[in-house]
Amino acid sequence: MADMIVLLRQVPDLVEELELNDDSTDVEREFMKFVLSEWDDYALEEALLVKEASQGSVTVVALDDPDVDQVLYTALAKGADKAVKLTGSEEGWIDSHQRARTIASWMRNQTYDLVLTGVQSVEDIDGQVGMLLAQELQHPHVSVVVSVETKNGSARVTQEFGGGRFSELDVQLPAVLGIQQSRQAPRYAPISRVRQAQQAGGLEEVPTEVSGGSGLTVRRLYAPESTDHAEMLEGSADEVADKIIELLRSRGLIK
Amino acid sequence: MSVFAAGPGPIDEIQTREVFANFGFFELALFYLLTAVAIGLFAYGAFRRIRKYARGRRAGRLTMPFRRTVVRTAEIGANATIGHRYPMVGVAHFLIFWGFIVLFIGTVILTIDHDIVRIAFGEEASFFKGTFYIVYSVILDTWGVAFLAGLAYMGLRRGLSRPRNLDYKRAEEPPEGYSRAQFVRGDWLFLGLLAFIAVTGYLEEGARIVASDFPDFEIWSPVGWLVGRGFEAIGVDAAGPGETWRHVLWWVHSLAALGFVAYIPFSKAMHMLTDFGNLLFFDEGSSRRLSPPVEAPDHAGYQSLEDFTWKELLDLDACTKCGRCHVVCPANAAGAPLSPRDLILDLRQWADQSTSTVSILDREHRVEPTGPLTVNGDGTKLAGDVIKQSTLWSCTTCMACVEACPVGIEHVPTIIQLRRSLVDEGSMEQSLVDALSNIASQGNSFGKSSRMRARWTKSLDFTIPDARKEPVKYLWFVGDFASFDERLQEQSRTLARLLHRSGVSFGILYEGEWNAGNDVRRVGEEGLFELLVEHNREALEAARFEEIFTTDPHSLNTLKNEYPDFGASYPVKHYTELLRDLIKSGEIKVRPLGRKVTYHDPCYLARYNNITRAPRLILEAMACHVKEMPRNKQGTFCCGAGGGRIWMDDSGLVERPSENRIREAMELGVDYFVVSCPKDLTMYSDAAKTTGNEDKLTVIDVVGLVAEAMDAPEPAMASEAGDVG
């Protein structure tokens, strides 16, 4: 039994070609298509799995990102119990600090056991939102979580490390988890269910007012500059090994 | 001596027979009591079945009264559907069908004379005598022989030649084991009962003729006469035990016949009634134009008996297990866990079990209550437990089963209704989820940006008009595969160049076009289908054109047959029809190619929309010699990609349908395998490779050949080129 809050955010759809704005400080957002951050989709799926296993509730919350209503209704169609949209934030890119603070300001009035969010997003590859939120609310935090199980006021989570290693941790609740992967692929929400949810309405809009972010400003956004192309070494394993040794020798890295 | 002279006299002297000769009161009462019981059981059984159908939803099948009653009745009377591709079975069934009806009418006439006319108007009013009796006798005796001949053919076919379609081995076999021995016994009981009734009828007739000492007019019952002579030869005669034998045989025959009457609604024999209804109310368009899902607040697909329409419930009882669907099904041929026959029989058993319907020798047995034996309740699911998910997902919606079914069963719409249940609960494989998600967000299954849809046109040296910006004659609905698949983009460019060169006015919708949704709907994702229709309808409304033509037969099907239900009604043709028209009118000039080709009919073109002539006319115009594969036109064999299968994993198959098809074509000794569907080009190019026939058989689109024919040298040289090719 756990009441869960899942943070959702919209990110640019990387299927589209990204264009920069005139002063190269942000992507051109006006004509951009936005989709739910992949990792947030995992966080929602994991929360729904926890709810199925041990009851409880799932509340999804998002800032007023572009096309976010659709995503919130889709979450309701998948089985979330409540959807909240925090309005009042500025348009354009919202940095992790501001995002975490805005959500925290709303969460202080909520009761919950677990907060799940994507471990990172394509716009926040250092995965700060979860950590910052935990800091704001003074909750324990675990990142890179691939499985969640709740029992008697604590959660057992599996954290993934590089090289195929895992650790299993018990976390005191309430806690904030950064989800890397859900136990199963995010479920499909049939369009007719999403439309039903849309028709039923029930999206709670909460005005929030938060100022101050990380204090950083973006000076320049740019596409990675391509350097020399890679050279593919071909042949059998032994031949390739010989070529590598020769290369390293020729550059004076080994003798 | 004139046998037709029916002189006046006591009843035993005129030309007739006595119905209840030498019957005491008790015996007579017993017969009428048993008759009443038999008819009562029949009525009860029929009532139970009808009550089951009445639980179903409305089916909208009371349209076209003339076509359904007069035309269909004539077809049923001719046994036309049964003879389709199985002429000998058609003839045998015709004999049994009409033999049964004639003999039944014979009994009814006897009843009318004996129990109505004579009782109401007195003995002298009887018409069952004289000329009438003689004509009656000769007709019944002859049809009795026809009846037995039909039964003999069916019995020999079933028992000796054992065609594959009569093998009841399941496509999806439960690991814990199952038995369909009852099915086999049920078939033999049915055939045997019919034969037994006919044979005992003749024996009784023979004994009667012996017992009455061969009166002249009884020669008009020739079989009975011969049987009587046979009896005489073994010492059964009028002086001896003739009458006793007659009396005993009378009861044997009558009890068998009465038993049969009671047996009808509980057995395979019910098909005599259910199939008449099922064919009357059959809708050949139900697969090409699907019905919307059930209007229920809590579920979208079929979950219980009440979700089925009465016609769909009738479908279940209509099946005679003839197995024609089983042998034409590409999924079954490929080793997938689907057989349309098993699907219908499983649903029938489940429906019968749910309604406590009694059935004689029509049950599959299993060690565990799985599949059709699944007990309702406890979270068991119709789509998932009774019918396995893997079974439902195996269907390519090629409609071969519906086309082959002699009794008007519509398997495909039922499968899709069950799939809608799976989609509603999100039970599908990941690749399908990805495809649907991509279509929902970008309008194509490739996961590419919708803005890239017309990128294939970039490398053309002309610009295809945007039909939303300038009026065109033809609006080309290109489709996902022809737009995004790199191998197929070249085909699309070929067609574009060819039309441009011929001065044809055509345009496209650019990013306004989204997946047409034919396969999305057939996957069971109705909500997404509606979304796509809305999107495309808006784009089409914004465009100015006279006619639509499509590359993809699947797109053609939904645009032509389903979009009108959603307020988007346009004339739609396939590009092969357009090319045919352009060649005919001389706008496209082709020269002879003289190739040896075979042509593969796409299911959605040939079977769904009866378009088989256009592509062949194009090939003939290019002097290509078309050698037909055994399975052609409406009897074509599916490539395996339809109904959303193209988005699912096919690695578990024993032999891909496309490979099976290439092997079929290899038998013909042709050089080209011509297709007219973008999915076919990829499916068959791959299959030609995997079967190792890539060097012997060239898979080519009609467009590819037309383009070659436009550039081909003068005819004299073309024939040489043809020989080389």
Q: Structure pTM? A: 0.92
B183 contact partners, CB below 8 Å, separation of at least 6? B168, B321, B361, B362, B364
User: What is d(CA B343, CA B414) in angstroms, rounded to the nearest whole number?
Assistant: 10
From residue B236, alpha-carbon distances to A106, B72, B233, B241 in Å are 105, 49, 7, 6
Q: Using the beta-carbon criterion (under 8 Å), do A13 and B525 form an inter-chain contact?
A: no
**Which of B298, B419, B425, B523 is the best residue to mutate to test the A interface, defined by the most A CB atoms within 10 Å of its own CB?**
B425
Q: What is the separation of C-alpha B317 from the centre of its chain, rounded to a whole number of angstroms?
A: 14
Predicted confidence (pLDDT) at residue B212 exceeds the cutoff of 80: yes
CATH 2.102.10.10 fits A2-207, yes or no: no
| Sole residue written with tokens 């009445």 | B54
* Predicted local distance difference test score (pLDDT) of residue B714: 66
Predicted confidence (pLDDT) at residue B323 exceeds the cutoff of 80: yes
Q: Using the beta-carbon criterion (under 8 Å), do B527 and A33 form an inter-chain contact?
A: no
A:B CB pairs within 8 Å: 47
**CA torsion angle for B448, B649, B405, B89 (degrees, to 10)?**
140
Q: Using the beta-carbon criterion (under 8 Å), do B449 and A13 form an inter-chain contact?
A: yes
Closest chain B C-alpha to A197 CA, distance in angstroms: 12
B543, two tokens: 């465009």
* Predicted local distance difference test score (pLDDT) of residue B168: 97
**Which of B389, B422, B433 is the best residue to mutate to test the A interface, defined by the most A CB atoms within 10 Å of its own CB?**
B433
Nearest to B541 by CA among B509, B516, B497: B509
User: What is d(CA B648, CA B646) in angstroms, rounded to the nearest whole number?
Assistant: 6
For residues B330 and A163, the model is more confident at: B330
Closest chain B C-alpha to A219 CA, distance in angstroms: 29
Q: Using the beta-carbon criterion (under 8 Å), do A185 and B441 form an inter-chain contact?
A: no
Query: Measured between beta carbons, which residues in chain B are less than 8 angstroms from residue A191?
Result: 440, 525, 527-528, 530-531
The strand pairing partners of A114, in sequence order, are A4, A175
Which residue in B has a C-alpha nearest to residue A70's C-alpha? B441
Peptide bond just before A174 cis, omega within 30 deg: yes
Q: Using the beta-carbon criterion (under 8 Å), do A191 and B527 form an inter-chain contact?
A: yes
Q: Given B300, B426, B430, which is nearest A192 (Cβ)?
A: B300
Mean pLDDT estimate for chain B: 94
Q: Using the beta-carbon criterion (under 8 Å), do A185 and B433 form an inter-chain contact?
A: yes
From residue B380, alpha-carbon distances to B97, B374, B383, B387, B416 in Å are 41, 7, 9, 11, 19
User: What is d(CA A40, CA A123) in angstroms, rounded to the nearest whole number?
Assistant: 12
Closest chain A C-alpha to B429 CA, distance in angstroms: 10
Closest chain B C-alpha to A14 CA, distance in angstroms: 9
* Predicted local distance difference test score (pLDDT) of residue B715: 60
**Which of A192, A193, A194, A198 is the best residue to mutate to test the B interface, defined by the most B CB atoms within 10 Å of its own CB?**
A192
Closest chain B C-alpha to A251 CA, distance in angstroms: 42
For residues B126 and A211, the model is more confident at: B126
* Predicted local distance difference test score (pLDDT) of residue B539: 97
**Which of B295, B389, B422, B430 is the best residue to mutate to test the A interface, defined by the most A CB atoms within 10 Å of its own CB?**
B430
Q: Which of B7-11, B68-72, B581-585 has the lowest mean pLDDT?
A: B7-11
Predicted confidence (pLDDT) at residue A218 exceeds the cutoff of 60: yes
User: What is d(CA B153, CA B92) in angstroms, rounded to the nearest whole number?
Assistant: 6
B62 contact partners, CB below 8 Å, separation of at least 6? none
Predicted confidence (pLDDT) at residue B723 exceeds the cutoff of 50: no
Phi, psi of A252 (to 5 degrees): 75, 20
**CA torsion angle for B195, B197, B198, B202 (degrees, to 10)?**
130
Q: Using the beta-carbon criterion (under 8 Å), do B437 and A190 form an inter-chain contact?
A: no
Q: Which residues of B touch A (CB under 8 A)?
A: 293, 300, 423-424, 426, 428, 430, 433, 436-437, 440-442, 447-449, 451, 525-528, 530-531
Strands A56-63 and A2-8: parallel
Query: Measured between beta carbons, which residues in chain A are less than 8 angstroms from residue B437?
Result: 188
From residue B327, alpha-carbon distances to A30, B165, B334, B685 in Å are 56, 6, 11, 25
pLDDT digits (tens, 9 = 90+) for B401-414: 999 999 999 999 99
Q: Using the beta-carbon criterion (under 8 Å), do B527 and A193 form an inter-chain contact?
A: yes
Q: Using the beta-carbon criterion (under 8 Å), do A190 and B300 form an inter-chain contact?
A: yes
Which residue in B has a C-alpha nearest to residue A195's C-alpha? B527
Q: Using the beta-carbon criterion (under 8 Å), do A194 and B426 form an inter-chain contact?
A: no
* Predicted local distance difference test score (pLDDT) of residue B578: 98
Predicted confidence (pLDDT) at residue B44 exceeds the cutoff of 90: yes
**CA torsion angle for B208, B214, B217, B220 (degrees, to 10)?**
70
Q: Given B424, B440, B449, which is nearest A15 (Cβ)?
A: B449
Closest chain A C-alpha to B443 CA, distance in angstroms: 13
* Predicted local distance difference test score (pLDDT) of residue B716: 54
pLDDT tier for residue B38 given thresholds of 50, 70 and 90: very high
Closest chain B C-alpha to A240 CA, distance in angstroms: 32
User: What is d(CA B645, CA B650) in angstroms, rounded to the nearest whole number?
Assistant: 8
The strand pairing partners of A168, in sequence order, are A158
Q: Using the beta-carbon criterion (under 8 Å), do B433 and A195 form an inter-chain contact?
A: no
pLDDT digits (tens, 9 = 90+) for B510-524: 999 999 999 999 999
From residue B568, alpha-carbon distances to A91, B540, B543 in Å are 38, 8, 12
Query: Measured between beta carbons, which residues in chain A are less than 8 angstroms from residue B447?
Result: 15
Query: Measured between beta carbons, which residues in chain A are less than 8 angstroms from residue B383?
Result: none
Q: Given A13, A78, A191, which is nearest B531 (Cβ)?
A: A191
The complex's ipTM?
0.85
From residue B374, alpha-carbon distances to B272, B350, B388 in Å are 29, 7, 11
Question: Mind listing the domains of chain B with CATH numbers?
Answer: 25-55+87-164+184-266 (1.20.950), 306-424 (1.10.1060), 444-582 (3.40.50), 585-724 (3.40.50)
pLDDT digits (tens, 9 = 90+) for B450-477: 999 999 999 999 999 999 999 999 999 9
pLDDT digits (tens, 9 = 90+) for B238-271: 888 989 999 999 999 999 999 999 999 999 999 9
Q: Is B441 exposed, middle or buried (0-12, 13-18, 19+ CB in 10 A)?
A: middle
C-beta separation of B254 from B35 below 8 A: no
User: What is d(CA A156, CA A147) in angstroms, rounded to the nearest whole number?
Assistant: 8
pLDDT tier for residue B601 given thresholds of 50, 70 and 90: very high
pLDDT tier for residue B6 given thresholds of 50, 70 and 90: very low
B335, two tokens: 């080793």
